[in-house]
Amino acid sequence: MELFDTHFHLDAEDDAAALCEQARAVGVTRMLILGGCATSSERARRAAANQPGVYAAAGVHPHDAAGFTDLAPFLELYADPKVVAVGEIGLDYYYEHSPRERQREVFRQFLALAGERDLPAAIHCRDAFADCMAILDDVLVPGQRFEIHSFTGTPAEAEEVLARGAFLSYNGMATFRRSENIRETLAVVPLERLLLETDAPWLAPVPHRGKRNVPAYLTDIAARIAEVKDVPTETLAAITTRNAREFFRVP
């Protein structure tokens, strides 16, 4: 069984090689490290450079939108074949660490850049569904690849996003005791549009609650989601790994 962790983050002090080796030992053979600013995006690129099956994404998280000033470092990153996506980008009206208008401006810029570069976009959308959909409708080009990561919307919202061609990504929240709403939506998402992620170092799944999340814990997430989807874990792993490989266009 092989799994693809399509979304995790590195802190400056993390031992990326050790985290990846730990993940491979339990069958998580492919991983995508996400950036949220120029510094963390470069960290992701460096970590992925010499790791087989490990890739990077570069972007500006809505929390960091207020501090974004220079596109040049990102253009250099997107020239690296190991950088296979634009992200993490999007909107977050829950914390509002950056003004909403600035979040929208930066999201539009990077979403358009993803279309120009023919790179998939990894999108963060929290308490901002209507504005996120409006920007997608305005900026997306036909056939543009995008996903909503850590999806927590309703079944109706899932249908809206799926109708626009999205993939939806689920993480450890699907295992939480009080997350029945997430499992209800997950049940209606077609397997061919489903991606798996950890969003490490946050959102450690059951039975690791209270610990720092790591890509190796994707096995527990996959097992719980397979139960929700009523398929063998091996089947879920094969389908979601194929989805991710095709979505990110990696071997």
**For residue range 105-155, what is the model confidence (pLDDT) as tens digits?**
999 999 999 999 999 999 999 999 999 999 999 999 999 999 999 999 999
222 sits in which H/E element:
helix 218-229
- pTM listed for this prediction: 0.98
State residue 94's pLDDT score.
96
Residue 207 has pLDDT above 90, yes or no: yes
Angle subtended at Cα 2 by Cα 52 and Cα 195, rounded to the nearest 5 degrees: 95
Q: Give the CA distances from residue 182 to residues 132, 178, 249, in Å, rounded to whole numbers and listed in that order.
A: 19, 9, 28
State residue 214's pLDDT score.
98
At the top level of CATH, the class of 3-248 is alpha beta
Region 31-41: mean pLDDT is: 98
* pLDDT band per the 50, 70, 90 thresholds, residue 249: very high
pLDDT, averaged across the chain = 98
pLDDT in tens, 73-91: 999 999 999 999 999 999 9
* pLDDT band per the 50, 70, 90 thresholds, residue 50: confident
For residues 50 and 249, which has the higher predicted lDDT (pLDDT)?
249
- Rounded Cα–Cα distance for residues 150 and 225 (Å): 13
Domain ranges of the chain: 3-248
Region 182-200: mean pLDDT is: 97
Region 244-250: mean pLDDT is: 98
- Reading the block at residue 102, the tokens are 């600035």
- Rounded Cα–Cα distance for residues 230 and 227 (Å): 5
Region 184-206: mean pLDDT is: 97
Angle subtended at Cα 241 by Cα 189 and Cα 4, rounded to the nearest 5 degrees: 105
- Phi-psi region at 199: left, alpha or beta (left = phi > 0; alpha = psi -120 to 50): left
Read out DSSP for 12-43? Answer: TT--HHHHHHHHHTTTEEEEEEEPSSHHHHHH
Asked if 196 and 3 touch (Cβ cutoff 8 Å), the reply is: yes
State residue 173's pLDDT score.
98
